Chains A and B, each alone.
Chain A
Amino acid sequence: MTSPAPLVAIRDLTAGYGGLTVLDNLSLDIAPGEFVAIVGPNGHGKSTLLKTISGLVSASRGSIKLAGVDITHKRPDRIVAAGIVHVPQGDLLFADMTVLENLLMGAYLPQAAAEARHRLEEVFALLPKLRDRQGQIASTLSGGERRMTGIGRGLMTGGKVLMLDEPSLGLAPILIDQIYELIDRLKASGRTIVLVEENAARIFERADRVCLLDNGRFVWSGGGAELMRRPELLETYLGG
């Protein structure tokens, strides 16, 4: 897993809010095409990690490199332009815009705008419900539709790395199945994916690697199947 140069290299990352430290000296390498899952108890930094990578939260120490280029203290819009797409927790849709406008907003960057029409068709193919709902105002969508719009919007941006923050949050199981089907297809197409999930069960067979984040530190990392065989870890950190 470590022979090709890592696409994303995180070293000694420390970050937090105000005086409170949330991420404590984290290091992580992500290879191109790898599917990494970040799991762990709530409130321990999973979302913060993604936000620090995408630039919404500034790191107080450490470094983040994308394909060798240091992006640690760059502005979020520069980091997106460099190729990291962050689909945030809670969707954060543009409430007064339609589904279509939200999706097109995903292709705001010039390099994405050039491919917009093409990508839109791809997104509609992956998420047919969105094509039906494209004229609908985002604030009137159901939970599952919002989630799909959020993910679709992220796909419109393109990018080398796709980061998803709890895509199954608050959804009914049948919708979660659909989301994970989509994730499977994205992985199959060779995308590098970083997934934060509390619902660890579905991760184990899918992820190439699972990293357990507790109190701002990685306490364990390895294959999903391995984790299944360590009930004490599951017990302590993931509530069995």
Chain B
Amino acid sequence: MKKISQGEVEREFQKALAVEYVKNYCKKNGLSIQKLRKQNFALCDNECAFYVQPIDYVKTDQLVIDGGPKPQVTLIIRHEKEELQIEETEYTKVFLKKE
């Protein structure tokens, strides 16, 4: 049986909550929830983000700390003044637009 850490479970749960929160926003703005679900997710402090990383980067001998293509953030949820705000980035339409 695959062992899953508590941290992993919590991250999955955080991501599920975030996806649920942006569902209506995505519907209204023509963004794909399916695509969003497949993206990476990070939460720190008062904000969380969905992001993509190019997976076809093969020049591993040239990779150093912070080397290679940078992650591209597609959608941010921010908690400010007791309110949640959704923020798009330059990559939102590129990676999340419905086909």
Is chain B a partner of chain A in the same complex? no
Query: Interface residues, chain B, CB within 8 Å of chain A?
Result: none
